[in-house]
Amino acid sequence: MRIAIASDHAAAGLKAVLAGWLRERGHDVIDLGADGRASVDYPDYGYAVAEALAEGRAERGVALCGSGIGISIAANRHPACRCALVSEPLTAALSRQHNDANAIAMGARLIGEEMAKACLDAFLSTPFEGGRHQHRVDKLSKEFA
């Protein structure tokens, strides 16, 4: 699977760990930055994940910042992105099963590496259920007038 991953400076370390972990599992990882501790603006990286999904360069996205909140808000400003902020595997799985989320956000200051891997594993391995959820997901892609 092609997975776009991006973070701000607060989550660059977790991003590097998760990108390596994903590659070890055979995924094609598109690293969109940031690459160090120099202060950057999380919206730029949330937008980058959303654009990679919208353009078809990635099938799934991972957005990371200190809390996960800001970068998830940024990613969700694009109508093609359905980014769920998660902190444990059940929420990650439900984001796929019921909401067809194509990206997840996590907070590097709030989640450990092993929990982040467990969330990512649940997210990537859970299919969208469709059915009664489909018309609701379709509404998520509409832009407001």
Enzyme catalytic residues: 65, 98
Residue 49 backbone dihedrals phi, psi, to 5 degrees = -65, -45
Q: Do the beta carbons of residue 11 and residue 41 sit within 8 Å? A: no
Which amino acid, residue 118?
A
In terms of Cα–Cα distance, which of 70, 65, 66, 72 is closest to 92? 72
Which amino acid, residue 76?
N
Other CB atoms within 10 Å distance of the CB of residue 110 = 13
Q: Do the beta carbons of residue 59 and residue 31 sit within 8 Å? A: no
